[in-house]
């Protein structure tokens, strides 16, 4: 039997029982569809997050006090002096100190609590935020600790509605500020809304709060971010008198974290999650495979006489094995193709919905998902086809011919 | 060697197609030994039309299965075309079945959802040397030889019993085997269809094919030139059929 004969015979036998075939492959369809869906959705979500981080520019680095993300840490460990010294390092530029001012914002009868960022003017460039109207904060605002404020897109809309925000006066805490600019919509980053905060000059925030420390520092690295990280770490350890010859990050009272690091952490987390979900989906493929084995066993017993006949006509055990293995493979591959389309289609629809909600969500159909699903389907077909097929191949021709 | 029942005077000097000596078969089932054949000695020359006759349980089907390489003897020697067949692997036996022997069964054993042509082409799938391009041509020739030209593209489920068996005969012809085994070929047929089927076998014999017929009916066995009686696993008699029947006279009576 040549390959063409084998395939013809397999497709003929499968298509002769269309209803049973379609029910049989349903398990494989669902299994492959869920594997493809899980992997492509995981990839799409990862892509979405990485896109957002990269929109900051890849050479962004944040220096944050340990207490920012670790309970019991010191939120006040980074001083303004630290900022001044970091600024002098050659491996960094556009160093921005940030003080988050914990005050509410009033305009007329409107009362809101957006994040109030006291920061120098480089923050807009560092965060990739674009001006919509008016002007950004500048050096003169900073020098004079002006009561100027730039509002992000959503907050400007909420406060002023259809009115022109430029020149409007709002109250932050107890003090009156003039709106000098508004920002374009920037969407969200890691599920925090970039369209909510308002920005005031760093000097103003400092005088309002009277604090000697900064909430965090954000900067752009020059060249290799690892060198910048090393410089900052050395500088701050010296300044904070931290003896850390072991280079144990747990001893530090600060964290210098580049966007690349965040990217790789998120990548590995989402990869782990994707693999985990795909494995669970793979279990359904396994169940589908058992369905294939079941139906192949039924087929073999239904066609025992045919197997006996084929053997009497000169089929070798291996011809019978290949014939039934091919049928099992054809079933799983057929199911896999339908499952691919179904899984990719569902993933695409979900990504459209996510795009509506989150914005800038792109559907990524990873070739890995396709290859993995096909391999798993072929593997399932072989794994669960071998037993029925070898059972068929081992049948005694005389007994098989007499089988009723 | 007696050559009375062979057609050619030179037959005695030829290598027999089938030569069986001291052949016996014992089935072992759950440690219970059931002897089926004892000390069978048999020679068949090419071109013979021989009937193996006996009641059910006599061992005639077992003998046919061994001669047709579907089964192996427990003891004794089986030489086919002068070559000992002992120690052949399953694959080697399969190749012999694909090329040298063929079967016509009582229950027809046709693929139900396939056409006459597809059924007749089936053995060629397993033939190691006939190229696939020749399959259809050869199958059509075999179908024509049994008079089913007009049924070539019929599904076998659309055929009468006699037509089904003639399809099976065409299938047994298509590989041009050395010997055709017909196992109760008329067993599932009415008498008219049975005679037609025997007529088809007669025709094959006349054109030079070796046919070994297995039957329990004397009337069917009498179509053959030579009748070997099997009784309780032994050859009871081996004789030339003196009152050989012919399908031509019988069909004209109907």
d(CA A188, CA A90): 32
**What CA–CA distances, in Å, run from A282 to A29, A32, A307, A369?**
12, 8, 33, 12
Beta-carbon contacts of A82 under 8 Å, excluding residues fewer than 6 positions away, are: A214, A217, A235, A236, A239
**pLDDT at residue number B1:** 43
Query: Token pair of B132, please?
Result: 């696939």
Nearest CA in chain A to B92: A316
pLDDT of B184 higher than 50 = yes
B98 — contact with chain A (CB < 8 Å)?
yes
Contact A341, B126 (CB under 8 A): no
Nearest CA in chain A to B175: A313
**pLDDT at residue number A191:** 53
Contact B98 A401 (CB under 8 A): no
Question: Between B127 and A52, whose confidence is greater?
Answer: B127
> Does residue B8 fall inside a structural domain?
no
**pLDDT at residue number B134:** 93
d(CA A365, CA B241): 78
Query: With b meaning 16 or more CB within 10 Å and e meaning fewer, what string describes A305-321?
Result: bbbbbbbbbbbbbebbb
By three-state DSSP, how is residue A375 classified?
A: helix
Q: What is the mean pLDDT of residues B163-185?
A: 94
N residues, chain A: 404
Q: A interface mutation test: which of B66, B88, B111 has the most A CBs within 10 A?
A: B111
Q: What is the mean pLDDT of residues A225-235?
A: 89
> Does residue B144 fall inside a structural domain?
yes
* Type and span of the H or E element at B165: helix B161-173
A3 — contact with chain B (CB < 8 Å)?
no
Number of domains observed in the structure of chain B: 1
> Does residue B6 fall inside a structural domain?
no
Range of the domain at B219: 47-69+94-242
Q: What is the mean pLDDT of residues B229-245?
A: 86
Question: Between B127 and A73, whose confidence is greater?
Answer: B127
Beta-carbon contacts of A31 under 8 Å, excluding residues fewer than 6 positions away, are: A281, A282, A284, A285, A286, A287, A288, A289, A335, A339, A376, A377, A380
Contact A343, A35 (CB under 8 A): yes
Contacts of A9 in chain B (CB under 8 A): 125
For chain A, helix, strand, coil in percent to 5 are 60, 15, 25
d(CA B182, CA B175): 15
> Does residue B19 fall inside a structural domain?
no
CB contacts < 8 A, A to B, total: 67
- pLDDT tens, B90-114? 999 999 999 999 999 999 999 988 9
Nearest CA in chain A to B125: A1
Strands (E), B92-219: 101-104, 179-183, 210-215
Give the number of C-alpha atoms closer than 13 A to the C-alpha of residue A272, restricted to the C-beta side. Answer: 6
Phi, psi of B240 (to 5 degrees): -80, 135
Nearest CA in chain B to A320: B126
- pLDDT tens, B106-136? 999 999 889 999 999 999 999 999 998 999 9
Look at residues B130, B20, B99 and name the one whose alpha carbon lies nearest to residue A313. Answer: B99
Q: A interface mutation test: which of B27, B109, B173, B180 has the most A CBs within 10 A?
A: B109
The distance of A313 to chain B (nearest Cα, Å) reads 5
Cα–chain-centroid distance for residue B242? 22
> Does residue B84 fall inside a structural domain?
no
By three-state DSSP, how is residue A299 classified?
A: helix
Contact A5 B71 (CB under 8 A): no
Region of poorest pLDDT, from A237-241, B11-15, B38-42? B11-15
d(CA A245, CA A333): 58
Contacts of A311 in chain B (CB under 8 A): 70, 94, 97
Contacts of B177 in chain A (CB under 8 A): none
What's the pLDDT band for B243 if we cut at 50, 70, 90? low
Phi, psi of B51 (to 5 degrees): -110, 135
Question: Between A160 and A1, whose confidence is greater?
Answer: A160
B115 — contact with chain A (CB < 8 Å)?
no
Q: What is the mean pLDDT of residues A134-151?
A: 91
End-to-end CA distance of chain A: 27
Q: What is the mean pLDDT of residues A212-223?
A: 89
> Does residue B5 fall inside a structural domain?
no
> Does residue B222 fall inside a structural domain?
yes
**pLDDT at residue number A182:** 93
d(CA B64, CA A28): 46
Contact A313 B123 (CB under 8 A): yes
Using the structure block, give the residue that is written with the tokens 């709060």.
Answer: A209
Instruction: Report CA dihedral (B173, B178, B184, B188) to the nearest 10 degrees.
Output: -10
Contact A309 B132 (CB under 8 A): no
pLDDT over 90, % of chain B:
76
Nearest CA in chain A to B66: A398
A303 — contact with chain B (CB < 8 Å)?
no
B71 — contact with chain A (CB < 8 Å)?
yes
Q: What is the mean pLDDT of residues A2-9?
A: 81
Contact B95 A314 (CB under 8 A): yes
Contacts of B91 in chain A (CB under 8 A): 316-318
d(CA B164, CA B196): 12
Q: Average pLDDT of chain B? A: 89
By three-state DSSP, how is residue B107 classified?
A: coil
Contact B126 A319 (CB under 8 A): yes
d(CA B52, CA B121): 28
Contact B164, B186 (CB under 8 A): no
> Does residue B62 fall inside a structural domain?
yes
Contact A16 B71 (CB under 8 A): no
**pLDDT at residue number A262:** 77
Phi, psi of A65 (to 5 degrees): -70, 150
Query: Token pair of B241, please?
Result: 């059929």
Question: Between A12 and B3, whose confidence is greater?
Answer: A12
Contact A172, A146 (CB under 8 A): no
Q: What is the mean pLDDT of residues A27-56?
A: 84
- pLDDT tens, A266-287? 888 888 888 898 888 888 888 8
pLDDT of B229 higher than 80 = yes
CATH assignment at residue B142: 3.40.50.300
Phi, psi of A325 (to 5 degrees): -65, -40
Contacts of B98 in chain A (CB under 8 A): 313-315
d(CA A103, CA A302): 79
Q: What is the mean pLDDT of residues A315-325?
A: 93
N residues, chain B: 254
ipTM of the complex: 0.89
Q: Average pLDDT of chain A? A: 86
pLDDT over 90, % of chain A:
29
């Amino acid at each position: 039997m040549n390959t063409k004969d084998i395939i013809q015979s397999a497709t003929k036998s499968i298509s002769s029982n269309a209803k049973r075939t379609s029910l049989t492959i349903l398990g494989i369809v669902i299994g492959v569809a869920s594997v493809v869906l899980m992997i492509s959705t995981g990839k799409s979500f990862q892509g979405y997050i990485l896109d957002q981080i990269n929109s900051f520019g890849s050479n962004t680095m944040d220096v944050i006090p340990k207490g920012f993300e670790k309970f019991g840490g010191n939120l006040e460990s980074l001083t303004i002096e630290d900022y001044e010294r970091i600024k002098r390092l050659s491996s960094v530029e556009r160093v921005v100190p940030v003080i988050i001012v914990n005050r509410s914002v009033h305009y007329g009868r409107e009362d809101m609590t957006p994040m109030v960022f006291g920061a120098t003017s480089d923050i807009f460039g560092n965060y990739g935020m674009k001006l919509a109207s008016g002007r950004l904060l500048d050096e003169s605002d900073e020098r004079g600790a002006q009561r100027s404020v730039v509002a992000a897109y959503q907050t400007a809309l909420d406060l002023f509605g259809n009115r022109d925000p430029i020149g409007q006066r709002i109250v932050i805490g107890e003090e009156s500020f003039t709106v000098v600019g508004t920002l374009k919509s920037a969407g969200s980053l890691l599920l925090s809304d970039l369209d909510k905060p308002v920005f005031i000059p760093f000097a103003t925030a400092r005088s309002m709060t009277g604090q000697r420390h900064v909430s965090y520092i954000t900067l752009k690295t020059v060249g290799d971010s690892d060198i910048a990280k090393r410089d900052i770490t050395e500088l701050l350890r010296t300044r904070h008198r931290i003896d850390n010859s072991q280079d144990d990050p747990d001893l530090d009272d600060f964290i210098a974290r580049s966007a690349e690091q965040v990217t790789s952490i998120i990548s590995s987390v989402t990869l782990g999650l994707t693999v985990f979900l795909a494995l669970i989906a793979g279990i359904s493929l396994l169940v589908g495979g058992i369905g294939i084995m079941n139906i192949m066993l039924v087929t073999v017993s239904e066609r025992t006489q045919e197997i006996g006949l084929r053997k009497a006509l000169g089929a070798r055990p291996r011809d019978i094995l290949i014939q039934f293995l091919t049928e099992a493979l054809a079933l799983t591959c057929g199911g896999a193709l339908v499952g691919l389309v179904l899984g990719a289609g569902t993933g695409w629809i979900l990504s459209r919905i996510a795009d509506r909600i989150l914005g800038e969500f792109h559907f990524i159909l990873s070739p890995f998902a396709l290859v993995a699903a096909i391999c798993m389907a072929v593997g399932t077909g072989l794994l669960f086809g071998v037993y029925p097929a070898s059972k068929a191949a081992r049948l005694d021709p005389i007994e098989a011919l007499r089988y009723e | 060697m007696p050559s009375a029942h062979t057609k050619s005077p030179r037959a005695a000097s030829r290598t027999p197609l089938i030569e069986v000596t001291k052949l016996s078969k014992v089935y072992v089932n759950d440690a219970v030994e059931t002897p089926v054949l004892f000390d069978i000695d048999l020679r068949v020359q090419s071109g013979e039309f021989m009937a193996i006759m006996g009641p059910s349980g006599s061992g005639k089907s077992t003998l046919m299965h061994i001669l047709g390489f579907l089964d192996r003897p427990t003891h004794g020697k089986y030489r086919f075309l002068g070559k000992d067949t002992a120690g052949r692997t399953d694959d080697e036996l399969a190749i012999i079945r694909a090329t040298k022997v063929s079967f016509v069964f009582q229950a027809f054993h046709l693929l139900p959802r396939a056409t006459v042509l597809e059924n007749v082409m089936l053995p060629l799938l397993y033939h190691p040397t006939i190229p696939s391009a020749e399959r259809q041509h050869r199958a059509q020739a075999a179908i024509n030889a049994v008079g089913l030209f007009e049924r070539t593209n019929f599904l076998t489920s659309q055929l009468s019993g006699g037509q089904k068996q003639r399809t099976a005969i065409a299938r047994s012809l298509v590989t041009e085997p050395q010997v055709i085994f017909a196992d109760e070929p008329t067993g599932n047929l009415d008498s008219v269809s049975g005679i037609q089927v025997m007529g088809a076998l007669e025709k094959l014999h006349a054109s030079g094919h070796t046919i070994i017929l297995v039957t329990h009916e004397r009337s069917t066995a009498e179509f053959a030139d030579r009748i070997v009686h099997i009784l309780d696993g032994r050859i009871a008699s081996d004789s030339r059929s003196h009152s050989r029947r012919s399908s031509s006279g019988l069909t004209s009576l109907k």
